[in-house]
Amino acid sequence: MHVMPLRNNQGRSLNLPRWVAILLSLLLGAATLTGTLVTTGETAEASTVSQAVEGKTFRIATDTTFAPFEFRDTTGELVGIDMDLIRQIAEREGFKVEIQSLGFNAALQALTSKQADAVIAGMTITEERKQVYDFTDPYFDSGVQMAIAKSNDEIKGYKDLKGAVVAVKTGSEGEAFAKRNADKYGYSIKAVDQSSTMYEMVKSGNAQAVVDDYPVLAYGITQGNGLKTVTEKVPGGSYGVAVNKGENQDFVAAFNEGLAKMKTDGSYDKLLKQYLGQSGSGKKAAAPKLSFFGLVRQSFPSLMLGLKNTLLITAMAFVIALLIGVVLGLWRISPNKILSWIARIYVAIFRGTPVLVWAFFFYLGVPQLIGHKISIWLAGALTLALNSGAYLVEIVRGAIQSVDTGQMEGARSLGLTRRMALRRVILPQAVRIATPSIINQLVIMLKDSSLLLAIGFGELLYQAQQIYAANFRVTETLFMVGIIYFVAITLLTWLANILDRRMNR
């Protein structure tokens, strides 16, 4: 039997039978080849995933205010765990993201209507939602806690909630938990759209407790939201990114791959620590509280941006509404019954339906009908213009019919046609009569523009929401917004009255 010399790890020779040595060599070679193939396969798979999304831009819808997962910093930039996570993964995997800040319910509607490709908004993965959406791998394990006002020493736990009102956020895990236990502990539930609204309800006494996701509560307490937790965290579901069923699977694969890489190299834990403290526990040092004037200085750039957007969308919508009001106002009194009924139907529809319905319809519904995305500016302008146009139609009609009928008869007796008499005699007098009401409608339109925050338009009140969602200074922020609205409307009314006096001199 032939023997072959091999060396051990100390460098000494080992005399083994030849067939044993050959067998060991073959096994060693197979192991090396398998490892190489596995590594090559993993690299090829990773490369394929990245290549599938490389250079693409995905529209990501999110909530407007859900700190610490999504909120705006002092510069107006949308930040938070969700925002930093999706941006880092996009950079790693070679795709781009376009963030749409809409609010949770509106974000889901945007996804359904294909105005967005995915939703990341602290969305809990549930069996019911899996019937409608596909989810990425979980990126955060959540849970819920109960909190009460810091000055409340009566409530120690859930058993003390009998007869109380518990505030929850619509569609959240906290709402689901509260509903499951409402009969057991004998409390009633009040659902609202924002965490900051819940906290204000508790502080004002309109609710006695709040049930919310524990990281959101923890962050709010560190920012001085005036609450304290009185229960332990109840483990709950996991957060994931949602896409429509069977769609954007390349995005899902790329997100999962990027998330796995971040967990492996430690950047994921670093991200959680940045917002929640050590190991994502939520125990983070409280931020120093700004004085009121410090808050004014910090908030001023964002509020001025909101004011600019408010004035621009109001001006755009008012021009369109005025054209509609004049044209359809004339149709309204036209002897042509078809034109008259068109104007009547238009007025009935837009005066008989809420502004918010049309905001959602133009921004989320129309794109599904025409198969093309609509700009939020166009959707906002159409919403305000068509709603206010209906009122201006009646203002114009009323003003024209308020002119003494003898004016028309006198003009006709002088040889003027009905159209000439209307243009040269009746309308100039109708303008004087209608101007105060038109100015009033302009002021109403300026205030109604605040409703566009529901579709994520960055007007004044929307910017205020972004500010107090991050610092929980709700009362002070809304006080500033009230002053800005008052000054803007006062100046606008003053300028309009000057124009009125000059036109009707």
Q: Give pLDDT, residue 315.
A: 93
> 228-237, 384-393, 476-485 — which is least confidently predicted?
228-237
pLDDT at 11 over 90: no
Cβ-contact 142, 186 below 8 angstroms: no
Average of per-residue pLDDT across 328-342: 90
Confidence of residue 394 (pLDDT cuts 50, 70, 90): very high
Q: Give pLDDT, residue 267.
A: 92
Q: Give pLDDT, residue 23.
A: 56
pLDDT at 4 over 50: no
Nearest to 382 by CA among 352, 362, 357: 362
Average of per-residue pLDDT across 342-347: 94
Q: Give pLDDT, residue 194.
A: 76
Nearest to 78 by CA among 380, 472, 469, 455: 469
User: Looking at beta carbons, which pairs linking 176-181 to residues 24 or more positions away fall under 8 Å?
Assistant: 177/144, 177/211, 177/234, 177/236, 178/211
The structure tokens 């009102």 sit at 165
Q: Is 58 helix (H, G, I), strand (E, B) or coil?
A: strand
Q: Give pLDDT, residue 22.
A: 57
Please classify residue 269 by burial: count the beta carbons closer than 10 Å to its beta carbon, then call 0-12 exposed, 13-18 middle and 19+ buried.
Answer: middle
pLDDT at 269 over 60: yes
Q: Is 305 helix (H, G, I), strand (E, B) or coil?
A: helix
CA dist 83 → 133, 218, 306 (Å) = 20, 19, 22
Q: Dig out the tokens for 255 from the structure.
A: 């997100």
R_g over Cα of the chain: 32
% of the chain beyond a pLDDT of 70: 86
Half-sphere exposure of 470 (CA within 13 A, CB side): 22
Beta strands in 214-328, from DSSP E residues, in sequence order: 227-229, 234-239, 242-244
Higher pLDDT, 371 or 23: 371
Q: For 23-66, how does the pLDDT look when each residue is reduced to its tens digit (9 = 90+)?
A: 556 555 555 545 544 444 444 445 576 677 788 899 999 987 77
Q: For 90-140, how does the pLDDT look when each residue is reduced to its tens digit (9 = 90+)?
A: 998 889 999 988 878 888 888 888 888 999 988 888 888 899 999 999 999
Average of per-residue pLDDT across 162-172: 87
Higher pLDDT, 314 or 55: 314
Domains of the chain: 57-137+241-278 (3.40.190.10), 140-239 (3.40.190.10), 292-503 (1.10.3720.10)
CB burial of 71-107 (b: ≥16 within 10 Å; e: otherwise) equals bbeeeeebbbbbbbbbbbbbebbbbebebbbbbbebb
Q: For 170-215, how does the pLDDT look when each residue is reduced to its tens digit (9 = 90+)?
A: 877 888 889 989 999 999 999 887 777 888 888 888 899 999 888 8
Average of per-residue pLDDT across 241-248: 92
Mean pLDDT (the chain) is 82
Higher pLDDT, 496 or 125: 125
Q: Could you write out the DSSP letters of every residue in 128-173?
A: HHHTTEEE-S--EEEEEEEEEETT--S--SGGG-TT-EEEEETTSH
Q: For 271-290, how does the pLDDT look when each residue is reduced to its tens digit (9 = 90+)?
A: 988 887 654 444 544 455 66
